[in-house]
């Protein structure tokens, strides 16, 4: 059975892009466009990893990360952040469960797949 990856991206076409990449490499993808939806998807689909933008509609990404860290069954899901904000460091976001930051300005399409493989291998 394929491992499920949750993609949380408010920009639907960018979400489609990540989904195409992951599905082409055998992952099952579930999608959310905002934090509320993401909580539902985490509960129902039990993803092995989460790829998310920091710019979400509604409650912010940090609220969502904090929420995920609040529960033992979701705190261990590795999170990969895709962002164009180059001032963020992994050290800042690690307490929120973030395992990897991808710079969306320079990323290649396969980077999301590599990141998911690396974070799921390390947990």
Partner 1 sequence: MSVEGERNIGGISSRLFDESILPASAAQELISPLVLLRQLGLSASENGLDPEQQKLLGEQMTLTSERALRMVTSLSMISSSQQMLPLEPVNPMTVCREVVHELSPMFTAHGQKITLQSRSRVPLTVANRNVLQRILLAFGDNALHYGSDEHPISMAITGYGDIVRIGIRDRGPAVPTDIWNKLEDRVSRRARAPLSNRPHASGVSLMAVRRLAERMNSVVGIVRHRDGATFYIDLNVSRQTSLL
Q: Which residues are near partner 1 by CB under 8 A?
A: 10-14, 17, 20, 24, 35, 53-63, 84-85, 87-88, 92, 104-105, 107-109
CA separation, residue 84 to residues 21, 47, 81, 122, 123 (Å): 19, 24, 10, 25, 26
- State the nearest-atom distance from the C-beta of 64 to partner 1, in Å: 8
Of 40 and 108, CB closest to partner 1: 108
Smallest separation (angstroms) from partner 1 to the CB of 48: 23
Backbone φ and ψ for 32, nearest 5 degrees, come out as -145, 145
Give one word for 17, left, alpha or beta, with left for phi > 0 and alpha for psi -120 to 50. Answer: alpha
Q: Would you say 11 or 73 has its CB closer to partner 1?
A: 11
> Considering Cα of 89, then 51, then 73, then 66, what sign does the dihedral take?
positive
Which of 6, 56 has the CB closer to partner 1?
56
């Amino acid at each position: 059975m394929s491992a499920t990856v949750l993609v949380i991206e408010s920009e639907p076409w960018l979400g489609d892009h990540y989904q195409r990449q992951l599905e082409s490499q055998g992952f099952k993808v579930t999608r959310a466009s905002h934090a509320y939806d993401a909580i539902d998807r985490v509960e129902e689909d039990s993803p092995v990893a989460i790829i998310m933008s920091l710019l979400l509609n509604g409650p912010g990404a940090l609220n969502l990360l904090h929420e995920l860290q609040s529960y033992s069954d979701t705190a261990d899901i590795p999170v990969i952040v895709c962002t164009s904000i180059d001032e963020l460091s992994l050290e800042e976001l690690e307490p929120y469960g973030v395992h990897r930051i991808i710079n969306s300005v320079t990323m290649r399409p396969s980077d999301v797949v590599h990141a998911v493989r690396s974070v799921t291998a390390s947990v």
